[in-house]
Structure 1
Amino acid sequence: MTKKNLSERLAAGPVIGDGSMALTLEKRGYCTAGPWTPEAVVMYPEAVRQLLREYVRAGADVIQTPCFYSSDKKLKRGKVTYTAAEINDAACKIAKEVASEGDDVLICGGISPVESFVDGKGRDVVRKEFENQIEVFIKHDVDFLLAEYFGYIEELEICMDVVKKAGKMAACSMRIGPRGDLSGVSVEDCAVRMAKTGALMIGTNCQFDTNAQLKTLRRIKDALAKENLSPYLMCQPPGYLCPEVECTLTGQRHLPEAPILLETRILTRFEAHQFARSAYELGVRYIGGCCSTEPHHIRAFAQELAPEKKKSPPAEDMCPAFGALLVDSDIPVIRKRNTKEYWYSVKPGSGRPYNSPLVNVQAD
């Protein structure tokens, strides 16, 4: 059976992406906090393989090549130095292997921002770095390309020009919140410029939480409608709540807990359900996750949108939505907690007695 491509799937209904790699691998002991580079694909491939398998079992229709921040300058910061080509090649092989084990899973080649842009090295140097990232994806014939986590629309436009010449179906996303990109370009202008790159799908990812991203996506949608532009919308939020940072340009990095003390802010699976529904009703058709979005979050996205997808995630056999199998518990009070209505009525505690629910954050 021939796999439906990304365009066909988006036209048919929602598509579920995978989740966090770097932050989740760091928690498991396979990635260095700070550089966040993906040497694990060479040094600890089974750990990477297992995490991707968990996303597929959770219901991901797409897995990204696990090579975020794979650029030569970034990789030189690590204890063991590999080239971007070596990392991307290993990442493609792992992704292809895991995708082959799943049910009709697509592979997305993930393209990251490069330091040569912010260092002012010039367009030719920047283009060459993007060409180096993409070359391996073309060799491995991934299903589509995603330029993600871009903070500057200008850099993203350079990247997408290179992507366009590769002849692959493509998407792009930015780590923007309500204040726009890092150079002050508004959300609306970023939206229009992203769409004019010719990307099939555009949107937001990381840095700002689910609530902030919904606000930003609503503005993106309105800006596109005014210009009669109609790419599909995508969203890959982080897996924690950080309302304090909506006023900033760079989002969660302002939190005193960032990046390795964010556990008390983790999104619950039921908040993930509610986000997936809100995003879908807004018009978002590709929903995945970024930093700290774990397999159970992706499962919640897939379970929530199962009616629209006409397909439940593989993990439904063991973990049906809203704890339906709690009815089999031998503890009477737990047996009663097996409904959506119960879990949506719960207001979870922070788990940290006497701690402030919010922290002071200064804007950029």
Structure 2
Amino acid sequence: MAPKKGILERLDAGEVVIGDGGFVFALEKRGYVKAGPWTPEAAAEYPEAVRQLHREFLRAGSNVMQTFTFYASDDKLENRGNTQRFTGEQINEAACDLAREVADEGDALVAGGVSQTPSYLSCKSEEDVKAIFKKQIDVFVKKNVDFLIAEALGKPVSVIPSCIFEPFTRFVAADFNMFDYGSQPIVFVSFSFSIITIIIAVSFSPTDNKLRLQNHLHTFSPTALEPRILTRWEMQKYARDAYNAGIRYIGGCCGFEPYHIRAVSEELEPERGFLPAGSEKHGKWGTGLELHTKPWVRARARREYWEKLQPASGRPFCPSMSKPDSWGVTKGHADLMQQKEATSKEQLKVLFDKATQNV
């Protein structure tokens, strides 16, 4: 069997590379991850659940299996009384093995996901923060992942996260012109609210750069995410707009399910030359509805209907806009100091009182 082409080889050849979606939120909805800590011990504790989600993304058309390693650092696993039975190393190794197993079932690569760390928010020393990152990267090197989603050395490409319109960026400034392109990075752009903004941001990127764009769907209330999730039809339109803007690596983040990735794969069928396996039971742009028993539903079996649809919740008294929490704090503020002990009732009361004042 010929070796798989690497990420840069695929992009250099003009291929469309499709990433996967959001494991943390998807597995929390399925009952395998605890909301709050959001730590990924399921990779070691419930490997079959993680393996199955990888397979669903592969079936939907993903070319990349990202390791389920977000927040798999020892400091985060210990954060605020988050009791767990696995070390960061155990979780990271299990996640790499699962991603590789499923990637080898198709033409997919493995991306090691380097996590942020609470040590940074708590203003630990530069050496302490680097040590946390190194422990995770050491596992990725040992497991020989194909590339990393983060700025790191020792792999063929550095993928630099840039969370535009977030309170602060994790690694570098949001200005594309500040990136060092000498190491052939793929720029990761993540937005909390708008896929439209992603397309606009591309205009500020050097034209010879290869882009990896992921739409970051979560809000400040991740356990009430559902009203904000994009429809599959919006994803098809986004995939086309992104491709036309020159983007060749398109994936998803928090809130993205396999059907979002399938929508991307289906829209870009002409460019890729094939449909994903997940389309066997699915009609592109709703054409499968032509088999429905009710005529008014069969009338929706066309692209024109879904392209013009304006989704709404339909619930009585539903607000048109949400009101995000605005605490106005960032690295170094007392509210962000991390601790190993569980949050006490007294600490929670202070937070509840402050939240009430911010309403």
TM-score, scaled relative to structure 1: 0.82
Q: Structure 1 residues 287, 323: closer, same or farther in 2, change over 3 A?
A: same
Note if contact 1:203-1:235 (Cα within 8 Å) is conserved in structure 2: yes
Give yes or no for contact 1:350–1:357 (8 Å, CA) kept in 2.
no
Percent identity of equivalent pairs = 39
Question: Cα distance, 1:311 vs. partner?
Answer: 2.3
Q: 2:200 aligns with which of 191, 203, 215?
A: 215
Local SS of the residue matching 2:312: coil
State yes or no: 1:6 paired with 2:7.
yes
Q: CA deviation at 1:312?
A: 1.4
1:337 is displaced (CA, Å) by 1.8
Q: CA deviation at 1:302?
A: 1.1
Map 1:346-357 onto structure 2 (within 5 A).
Answer: 346-357=309-320
CA deviation vs aligned residue, 1:143-169 (integer Å, no higher than 9, x gap): 11111xxxxxxxxxxxx3xx22x2443
Q: What amino acid sits opposite 1:355 in the alignment? A: C
Contact 2:161 2:189 (C-alpha < 8 Å) held by counterparts: yes
In the alignment, structure 1 residue 174 sits paired with structure 2 residue 162 = yes
Q: Answer yes or no: is the 8 Å Cα contact 1:195–1:231 preserved in 2.
A: no
Tell me, yes or no, if the aligned pair for 2:262 and 2:276 is still in contact at 8 Å: yes
The number of residues matched between the two structures is 323
Match of 1:204 in 2: 189
Secondary structure (helix, strand or coil) at the match of 1:7 reads: helix
What do the CA deviations read for 1:63-122 (whole angstroms, capped 9, x no partner)?
101111111100113321422211110001111111122x21111111012222233322
Q: Per the alignment, do residues 308 and 23 of structure 1 end up closer, same or farther by CA in structure 2, a change over 3 Å counting?
A: same
* Pair 1:231 & 2:218 matched: no
Asked if the contact 1:92–1:140 (Cα under 8 Å) also holds between the matched residues in 2, the reply is yes
Q: Is the 8 A contact 2:211 2:248 kept in 1?
A: yes
Please identify, of 21-30 and 352-361, the stretch whose mean Cα deviation from structure 2 is larger. 352-361
Give the secondary-structure state (helix, strand or coil) at the position aligned to 1:260: helix
Tell me, yes or no, if structure 1 residue 93 matches structure 2 residue 71.
no
Q: How do residues 320-335 of structure 1 correspond to structure 2 at under 5 angstroms?
A: 320-335=283-298
Which structure is larger by alpha-carbon Rg, 1 or 2? 2
Whole-Å separation in 1 of the counterparts to 2:304 and 2:147: 39
Q: How does 1:1-364 map to 2 (within 5 A)?
A: 1-11=2-12, 12-77=14-79, 78-101=82-105, 103-147=106-150, 160=151, 163-164=152-153, 166-177=154-165, 181-182=168-169, 187-188=174-175, 191-196=176-181, 198-219=183-204, 221=205, 224=206, 230-239=208-217, 252-253=219-220, 258-361=221-324, 364=328
Gaps of 5+ in 1: 148-159, 241-251
Q: CA–CA distance in 1 between the matches of 2:149 and 2:324? A: 31
In the superposition, the TM-score normalised over structure 2's length comes to 0.83
Question: Which amino acid is the alignment partner of residue 202 of structure 1?
Answer: V
Given the superposition, is the C-alpha separation of residues 74 and 197 from structure 1 closer, same or farther in structure 2, using an over 3 Å criterion? farther
- Relative distance call for 1:127 and 1:168 in structure 2 (3 A) is farther
For structure 2, the residue ranges without an aligned partner over 5 or more in a row are: 329-359
1:61 alignment partner AA: N
Note the aligned Cα RMSD (angstroms): 2.2
CA–CA distance in structure 1, aligned partners of residues 35 and 51 of structure 2: 20
TM superposition shift of 1:138 = 1.2
CA contact (8 A) 2:162 2:173 kept: no
- 2:122 alignment partner AA: D
